[in-house]
Structure 1
Amino acid sequence: MLVEFSVENYRSFKERQTFSMVASKKKTGQDSNSFPMPNVKSLRLLTSAVVYGPNASGKSNLVRAMQTMRQIVLQSATGMQLGSRWNIEPFRLNADYQNKPSCFEIIFIEDNIRYQYGFSLDQERVYEEWLIAYPKGRAQTWFERNYCSEEQEYDWYFGRGLKGEKERIKGFVRPNSLFLSHAAQNNPPQLGKLFLWFSSKLNLIPSRFQYSYKFTDLKFDISTNYSDNFFKLIKGNDFGLSNGIQQLCEIGGYWINALDNGEILIIDQLDRSLHSEISTYLIKEFNNQAANQNNAQLIVTTHDTTFLDRDIVNQDQIWFTEKGSNNSTKLYSLLDFQVREDESLQKGYLKGRYGAVPFVIGLDS
């Protein structure tokens, strides 16, 4: 389960921006669009969220930041050699930030335990890495490393809550790799399951996603593994016709796996090649307690204002991105605005009441 994700000094993100899946405590709609956070009775987590914003406002960069963090975790131990460089792009419109590391932090829940994990790095070096666990509802720092530029070495801290051969694993860690990734390769049960969360529970479909199935693979997979609900979506369609059908079949596998296994599915530009009714159906299934019995979560970026309907999403499920005066991305929630209960969210957004809409100059001006 995803609780929060934060990013700083990465592509269009300058200052730290935080995306949250914590439901609002005030009544903003249907409780069916959220579920209780394990071991925290006072908080609930959202089943879905939609992110709006004009082109080049940073929507895709939010997904890309999550994907980059996941990739670094999965590849730093086995895919990077000493001296290799990460493809990290800091905020380039400020000279001071070009020389600062990028920072990623994620808060998530696995096996009913909340974890807060993050790191800062540039193309050549990890400067900080930390993991805080809440096994009994109280914070325990399991490990932390900080690079000291004067001594050109790391300060390490290991908490008593973290078991295993910590000192031996520390010897494998390179300047450009993560302790979490190396620990997972050495099979400590505590950190191994966190690595598996990144690899199997956090699923992302970027906007430039390439279809991985062939026509024959689709027929085989659908006929044996896909649910009855998915058949309803594709019934009557010819697999050789459109990009939309291909995208639907590709997303369908991730969609069903997420619902069946309680995974997180993040899709950039959900409306790409998909009809609004199909996209709406995908979102509603995550908000449907009968269909989503394992507390799966869906996050999408989109331009489709059809989803700005109180029968689909609540106010706390709607997020926006827009560029500020310094051309950096600001990420904010619809909760930041006073919205009347009878107000049309779609009309309010299109009129620019919440920001995050393109400024169009007339062709005749």
Structure 2
Amino acid sequence: MLLNFRVANHRSIREEQELQLHPAYDTDRPRGTDWAAVPVVGLFGANAAGKSNLVGALEYMASMVLNSHRDAEPGDGLTRSVFRLDAAASDEPSWYVVDLLLDGVRYTYGFSIDDERVLDEWLYSYPLGKKRKIFERPDGEVQPGDSQAKRELELVENITEPNVLFLTMAARSKQEDFRPVYDWFATGLRFAEGRTRMPLGVPTGPNRDAAALLALLRSADLGIEEYGIERQVMDEEALHRMFGGPLLQQELARLEASGPRELSRPWIGHRGRSGVVRMELHEESAGTRALLAQAPRFLAVLRQGGTFIVDEIDSSLHPLLTTQLIGLFQDPETNPRAAQLIFTSHDASLLGRADGEDILKRDQVWFVEKDRYGETRLIALSEFKPRTGENHERRYLGGSYGGVPFIDESFTKALAARGDEHGETA
């Protein structure tokens, strides 16, 4: 479970920004839960405010933890994206910190880097609430905690390049105290693929959430009554029906090399006058295909636990369906493993109410905006001391919280002038 994320000097983020997930209002906790962090966070703001950059910063941190030993060649330095609108930023470090709750134990892990190397790195745990140093790496020199086998960590340090994270090497060297945080980045933190559409003919395994997916499809009011997967032998005739042009030639070449193979092909059963009619995915709307691509990921996180990051959750899904997906994370019956959903959106309707309750609680909403110097700022709704039952959607659109685009009269005048110009030349 993610409790906190902090980042500085990453793309449009200049100064330290903090995404705090600790509950701010006990009365807003989902009923019947004592979760240490909120299950849902929505990030709202204008285009180019920096929402995706915040998501990208966490994704960059995860990539460093999992791949720094593969991506960084000895002596090649590090690839990072600093704030570009201040020349001094390129000479300053970028840093990333997470606070996590894993199996009842809190961990704090972070690192700072420049273009050449890891400047600082640290990992602490808090068993029984008391701070325990697992390691520190000030100025690149590893200092193990008292509970660590110093000789073993010295061996790990000897094979850790200056541009590689020590956590990565220690966890992969089977140092047990390092595994929980590494494993969270490896399997507990997930990122949705942007604007995914399920490609036709891609092999798919058995869907462990088939019943839940069918219930979601039915509730989405798409006229869907059934959903299933059938296995089809992909011989040359089947490939001709599915593909054309260069793609067909590629598939035929593969078929010739490997012989006939089976593909799992999803189908959708729609309600019709004479009963249920099966249709293939290419016959469905873009919205239905997007739902079929995205929903299994949501359901898998709910089943397994973890933190799911979705950039632009409203890019393909209808607001009512997005509302329903958010609700699954708010309910301990559908979210028994305290999974988390963090998403960005432009859809102000998600700040409203559904069935008489707030879709997002007061401590689950953050606004992202840029100041006059192009620096991203992160602001919690709770900083505005909102009252219970307050119309957050209306106040947001009215500019009370920031994070909305300001379009001055010059924009309207420019469009009008362009129209007059075309009118005169017509």
> 1:170 deviation in Å?
0.7
Q: Distance in 2 between matches of 1:34 and 1:198?
A: 28
Amino acid at match of 2:200: F
Q: Distance in 2 between matches of 1:113 and 1:338?
A: 31
> 1:262 deviation in Å?
1.3
Match status 1:334 vs 2:381: yes
Match status 1:192 vs 2:198: no
Q: Which residue of 2 aligns with 1:279?
A: 322
> 1:127 deviation in Å?
0.5
Matches within 5 A, 1:1-365: 1-25=1-25, 27=27, 29=28, 31-32=29-30, 35-37=33-35, 44-147=36-139, 154-163=140-149, 165-205=152-192, 207=194, 210-211=196-197, 213-217=198-202, 220-221=204-205, 224-235=207-218, 236=224, 239-240=281-282, 241-310=284-353, 311=357, 312-362=359-409, 363-365=411-413
Q: Distance in 1 between matches of 2:163 and 2:286?
A: 39
What percentage of residue pairs aligned between the two structures are identical?
A: 32
* Inter-CA distance 192–78: structure 2 relative to 1 (3 Å threshold): farther
Q: Distance in 1 between matches of 2:200 and 2:216?
A: 17
**What SS does the aligned partner of 2:37 have?**
strand
Query: After superposition, what is the alpha-carbon deviation per residue over 1:322-345, rounded to whole angstroms, capped at 9, x for unaligned?
Result: 001221000010011032334211
Query: After superposition, what is the alpha-carbon deviation per residue over 1:242-286, rounded to whole angstroms, capped at 9, x for unaligned?
Result: 333333223223211211111110100000111111111110000
Q: Which has the larger radius of gyration?
A: 2
Amino acid at match of 1:108: L
* Inter-CA distance 99–195: structure 2 relative to 1 (3 Å threshold): same
Amino acid at match of 1:155: E
Contact preservation (8 Å) 2:301, 2:307: yes
Q: TM-score, normalised by structure 2?
A: 0.77
Contact preservation (8 Å) 2:98, 2:110: yes
Unmatched tracts of structure 2, length 5 or more: 219-223, 225-267, 269-278, 414-426
Count, aligned residues: 347
Query: After superposition, what is the alpha-carbon deviation per residue over 1:200-231, rounded to whole angstroms, capped at 9, x for unaligned?
Result: 00001254x555x533447x44x632242211
> 1:33 deviation in Å?
6.8
Contact preservation (8 Å) 2:212, 2:299: no
Amino acid at match of 1:245: T
> 1:85 deviation in Å?
4.3
> 1:87 deviation in Å?
2.9
Contact preservation (8 Å) 2:49, 2:376: yes
> 1:347 deviation in Å?
0.4
Structure (1/2) with the larger helix percentage: 2
Q: Distance in 2 between matches of 1:270 and 1:297?
A: 14
Contact preservation (8 Å) 2:157, 2:166: yes
* Inter-CA distance 352–318: structure 2 relative to 1 (3 Å threshold): same
Q: Distance in 1 between matches of 2:34 and 2:166?
A: 31
Unmatched tracts of structure 1, length 5 or more: 38-43, 148-153
